[in-house]
Amino acid sequence: MLLDCSEGEFRERLPGRTVIEVARLGKFLLLRLDGPEDLHLTIHLGMTGQVLVSQPEVAHPHTRFTFWLNGPGDEVRRLEFRDMRKFGRVHLTSNGPPSRVRTLGPDAWAGAWDAEYLAERMRGRKAPLKAFLLDQRNLAGIGNIYADETLWWAGLAPIRVASSLSPGEIGRLTHEIRARLDEGVRRLGCTLADFVDTQGNPGGFQKVLQAYGRRGEVCARCGGTLVRVVVAGRGTTYCPGCQR
DNA sequence: CCCAAGTCCTGGTTGC
DNA sequence: TGCAACCAGGACTTGG
């Protein structure tokens, strides 16, 4: 289901609204609208979603939603949501963002969290470290690619039990979570197949991947061979030689 | 047939 | 035994 309320409700409530705030928490894009109901338009790109502006008006087969925006003058801009695989979501809610946003932990990249916070969240957790990183209730914004990359750089095995990390290891993890996301942002995203920014440009993070998608290749740190396993139901690539 | 960047839901297990 | 917390795995979807 693309929308969390009827199309009629969108058509009825959106026209004439002004976007008064644009924010992001984890993988969610939050647009706050004016008016008394505290309306929020919330977008999640899923796996293959794209948000594009100023595109030509030709229909694209994967366009799921089109917003028409009035600029300051007579200019009209088009905000288009495309999603090949339909895992993306568009929510329109009153009284704040949808509940799924309220359960998110602090933003992994921009949030005010530290190693102490991670240690507290890890206490007693028997889930593998990889699952801990992907759980958006702990930190919001880490997906499969950044989880594998973070663990490679931190030298930690994805199958480690979350509660087994030493303070030193948690410190390394804390640093690498921020460092990898930072590099991803600096390189404007990771384009394996679909990702583009709002102007249609691909990112460059895929050029510096050390672990993700490199099964069978040589580990740049220890010369071992990267292996693929399934952890928490997700394909996971790591180096058994130097990720402990 | 296998694999893929996302989250949600269900049902089983564990431990207090 | 009761219950909650926790965790694994499936469902969803289309394409390479």
Give the tens place of pLDDT for each residue, A74-94: 888 888 999 988 899 999 999
Q: Which residue is nearest to nucleotide B6 (CA to C1')?
A: A46
- A51 CA, B5 C1': Å apart: 15
**Which pLDDT value is given to residue A55?**
64
* Burial (0-12, 13-18, 19+ Cβ within 10 Å), A25: buried
- Check whether residue A3 has its CB closer than 7 Å to nucleic acid strand C: no
**Which pLDDT value is given to residue A73?**
81
- A182 CA, B4 C1': Å apart: 24
Length in residues, chain A: 244
pTM of this prediction?
0.93
Residue spans of chain A under pLDDT 70:
1, 54-56
State the Cα–Cα distance between residues A117 and A172, nearest whole angstrom: 14
State the Cα–Cα distance between residues A101 and A103, nearest whole angstrom: 5
At residue A137, the 3 state secondary structure works out as coil
- Check whether residue A239 has its CB closer than 7 Å to nucleic acid strand C: no
State the Cα–Cα distance between residues A225 and A151, nearest whole angstrom: 16
Instruction: Identify the bridge partners of residue A142 per DSSP, sorted by sequence position.
Output: none
**Which pLDDT value is given to residue A29?**
94
**Which pLDDT value is given to residue A5?**
77
Which alpha helices (DSSP H) does chain A contain, by range? 7-13, 99-102, 115-122, 129-134, 144-154, 167-186
Contact (Cβ atoms closer than 8 angstroms) between residue A199 and residue A191: no
- Check whether residue A87 has its CB closer than 7 Å to nucleic acid strand B: yes
- A206 CA, C1 C1': Å apart: 53
